[in-house]
Amino acid sequence: MVTSEPETHSETDLFSPIELGPYTLKNRIVMAPMTRNRAAEGNVPQAMNVEYYAQRASAGLIITEASQISPQGVGYPMTPGIHTDDQVEGWKAVTDAVHAKGGHIFLQLWHVGRISHPSLQPDGEPPVAPSAIRPQGEAFTYSGLQPFETPRALESKEIFNIVYDYRKAASNAMEAGFDGIEVHAANGYLLDQFLRDGSNQRNDDYGGSLENRCRFLMEVLEAVIGECGSQKVGVRLSPLNSFNDMSDSDPEALFSYVVEQLNPLELAYLHVMEGDFAARPGAQPAFDVHKLRSIYQGRYMVNGGYDLQRGNAVLAQGAADLVSYGALYISNPDLPERFAQVARLNTPDESTFYGGDEHGYTDYPALNTGG
């Protein structure tokens, strides 16, 4: 039986348990997916990744950093994948450690599309995209920042192969012991590029109308549901985010349509990033993203600068079922415990967010160590 009806009673707070698909989460505090660039050679999760996630197992749910479904999906140095045997084994050590501490963990599946560089692609090929439109900005490479190059537009028959890559990645995630997967359709990466008309100017079955631009995402979801079951699959959207040079002529119509199409799938959850990484100070959002909550009929997760008070408030109002936290989880591995005690929070060191060693990764103190 699907148990995904929104909850609206005022007693609900961050510490209330919740049914999510086949699981009972101990709280509604979710660790958001965050790229940290600390995988080993071959984009394989390593020992410090195991410790990092195990430290945060008191979350109701951990969503891992984005993990590429194929060599073509790579867009940044030292980001983990889920398409080789070694990567599967590396992630299995992570899931075992999280489960040993009573946690739940989903893997976020990722293809960056045009947000890459030939130096990161197989055989130095150009990145792929729905259309040959070069994004503004620079790629992070092993040689430092490099200007983005014009991507190659995918042929229709190639999209079928990428859908297969998502299916195989979902199967690999199950083999690695994950409780489920989140499809990354946000923040200007490949699936988001197909959704928005600023990056998708195709004239085939994957471009033009809302139905066509949504087709790739729906095919991917159908494929991963076939491997995991719908109640072990979530999806992330970022309707307002212009990060990675993203735009759409009518985002409210687009994302309202997308969310309507998700309803029949009976997913584990919809994860909505409410803000805009690249917004200018004082800029007004294109539409009220909270309207999407009234459209979606299942578990609804929000992300966007929430703290303890705002997190409790959005749940009590019935405007969300779960709240995901990003930067606060970097510096506070025991975030639920700190919230429960209204304790002081560690300050994150932004200089250690991307790349490096254990410093700024696994060495933030927990409450019981004097943090």
The number of CA neighbours under 13 Å toward the Cβ of 350 is 0
The residues facing 237 across adjacent strands are 272
Q: Which two three-digit tokens encode residue 364?
A: 């933030």
The residues facing 300 across adjacent strands are 270
Q: Which two three-digit tokens encode residue 347?
A: 């300050």
Give the alpha-carbon dihedral of 223, 229, 230, 234, to 10 degrees.
-80
Are 196 and 118 in contact by the 8 Å Cβ rule? The answer is: no
Short-list 167, 159, 216, CA closest to 191: 216
Short-list 151, 142, 159, CA closest to 113: 151
d(CA 46, CA 254): 39
Give the alpha-carbon dihedral of 128, 134, 140, 146, to 10 degrees.
120
- Catalytic member of 189, 300, 306, 361: 189
d(CA 120, CA 141): 7
Quick count: other Cβ atoms within 10 Å of Cβ 49? 24
- Which H or E element spans position 295? helix 291-295
Are 142 and 119 in contact by the 8 Å Cβ rule? The answer is: yes
Q: Which two three-digit tokens encode residue 68?
A: 């590429």
d(CA 174, CA 156): 28
The number of CA neighbours under 13 Å toward the Cβ of 48 is 14
Short-list 243, 236, 251, 246, CA closest to 289: 251
Checking DSSP bridges between strand 23-25 and strand 18-20, what pairing results, if any? antiparallel
Q: Which two three-digit tokens encode residue 329?
A: 């989880």
Instruction: Say whether 189 is catalytic.
Output: yes
Please return the burial class of 17, using the count of CB atoms within 10 Å of its CB with bins 0-12, 13-18 and 19+. exposed
- As annotated, the active-site residues are 189
